[in-house]
Amino acid sequence: MTQPLQPASPTVKVFPDGRMDTTNAAAYVGVSPKSMAIMRSTGTGCPYHKIGKAVFYRKDDLDAWIQSRRTTSTSDYRAQRLAA
Protein backbone atom coordinates (compact mmCIF):
# COMPACT_ATOMS: atom_id res chain seq x y z
CA MET A 1 0.00 0.00 0.00
CA THR A 2 1.44 3.38 -0.98
CA GLN A 3 1.19 6.38 1.25
CA PRO A 4 -0.22 9.65 -0.10
CA LEU A 5 2.36 12.16 -1.26
CA GLN A 6 3.15 15.03 1.04
CA PRO A 7 3.91 18.53 -0.26
CA ALA A 8 7.51 19.70 -0.43
CA SER A 9 6.38 22.79 1.49
CA PRO A 10 4.04 22.67 4.50
CA THR A 11 2.41 25.98 3.49
CA VAL A 12 0.79 24.67 0.27
CA LYS A 13 -2.80 25.85 -0.11
CA VAL A 14 -5.26 23.60 -1.94
CA PHE A 15 -8.78 24.61 -2.96
CA PRO A 16 -11.54 22.34 -1.59
CA ASP A 17 -11.95 20.75 -5.04
CA GLY A 18 -8.23 19.81 -5.22
CA ARG A 19 -7.00 22.70 -7.39
CA MET A 20 -3.80 24.67 -6.79
CA ASP A 21 -2.47 27.78 -8.44
CA THR A 22 1.00 27.72 -10.01
CA THR A 23 2.78 29.00 -6.88
CA ASN A 24 1.25 26.33 -4.65
CA ALA A 25 1.65 23.58 -7.26
CA ALA A 26 5.33 24.47 -7.60
CA ALA A 27 5.78 24.31 -3.83
CA TYR A 28 3.93 20.98 -3.77
CA VAL A 29 6.29 19.33 -6.27
CA GLY A 30 9.41 21.17 -5.05
CA VAL A 31 10.27 23.37 -8.03
CA SER A 32 9.99 27.09 -8.75
CA PRO A 33 6.91 28.68 -10.34
CA LYS A 34 9.17 29.64 -13.27
CA SER A 35 10.05 25.96 -13.76
CA MET A 36 6.33 25.14 -13.84
CA ALA A 37 5.85 27.80 -16.55
CA ILE A 38 8.74 26.41 -18.59
CA MET A 39 7.38 22.87 -18.29
CA ARG A 40 3.94 24.12 -19.40
CA SER A 41 5.40 25.78 -22.48
CA THR A 42 7.54 22.77 -23.46
CA GLY A 43 4.84 20.21 -22.73
CA THR A 44 6.97 18.30 -20.22
CA GLY A 45 4.99 19.22 -17.12
CA CYS A 46 1.84 18.14 -15.43
CA PRO A 47 -1.58 18.62 -17.07
CA TYR A 48 -3.18 21.91 -16.10
CA HIS A 49 -6.33 23.98 -16.55
CA LYS A 50 -6.28 27.52 -17.87
CA ILE A 51 -9.20 29.76 -17.00
CA GLY A 52 -8.67 33.20 -18.47
CA LYS A 53 -5.14 34.08 -17.42
CA ALA A 54 -5.22 31.85 -14.34
CA VAL A 55 -3.52 28.45 -14.39
CA PHE A 56 -4.59 25.68 -12.03
CA TYR A 57 -3.23 22.20 -11.35
CA ARG A 58 -5.18 19.37 -9.76
CA LYS A 59 -3.53 17.60 -6.84
CA ASP A 60 -4.37 14.20 -8.32
CA ASP A 61 -2.69 15.17 -11.61
CA LEU A 62 0.41 16.39 -9.77
CA ASP A 63 0.60 13.15 -7.79
CA ALA A 64 0.26 11.07 -10.98
CA TRP A 65 2.87 13.20 -12.76
CA ILE A 66 5.32 12.78 -9.88
CA GLN A 67 4.76 9.00 -9.88
CA SER A 68 5.26 8.84 -13.67
CA ARG A 69 8.74 10.30 -13.25
CA ARG A 70 9.88 7.56 -10.86
CA THR A 71 13.04 5.78 -11.97
CA THR A 72 15.96 3.85 -10.52
CA SER A 73 18.85 5.27 -12.51
CA THR A 74 19.77 8.12 -14.83
CA SER A 75 20.08 5.80 -17.81
CA ASP A 76 16.61 4.35 -17.15
CA TYR A 77 15.20 7.86 -16.92
CA ARG A 78 16.75 8.86 -20.27
CA ALA A 79 15.48 5.67 -21.93
CA GLN A 80 11.95 6.28 -20.61
CA ARG A 81 11.92 9.87 -21.89
CA LEU A 82 13.29 8.89 -25.31
CA ALA A 83 10.71 6.11 -25.66
CA ALA A 84 7.83 8.48 -24.89
Domain count within the chain = 1
pLDDT of residue 72: 79
pTM: 0.75
pLDDT of residue 43: 92
Task: Print the domain residue range for 51.
Answer: 19-83
7 found inside a domain: no
pLDDT per residue as tens digits for the range 1-53 = 556 656 566 688 988 898 999 999 999 999 999 999 999 999 999 999 999 99
**Beta partners for 56?**
21, 49
79 found inside a domain: yes
- Residue pair 73/31 in contact (Cβ under 8 Å)? The answer is no
78 found inside a domain: yes
- Residue pair 50/57 in contact (Cβ under 8 Å)? The answer is no
Q: Which residues contact 12 (CB under 8 A, 6 or more apart)?
A: 20, 24, 27, 28
- Residue pair 65/47 in contact (Cβ under 8 Å)? The answer is yes
**Quick one: 78 exposed, middle or buried, by C-beta within 10 A (0-12, 13-18, 19+)?**
exposed
Mean pLDDT within 67-76 = 80
pLDDT of residue 2: 58
Whichever domain contains 38, its CATH number is 1.10.1660
pLDDT of residue 55: 96
1 found inside a domain: no
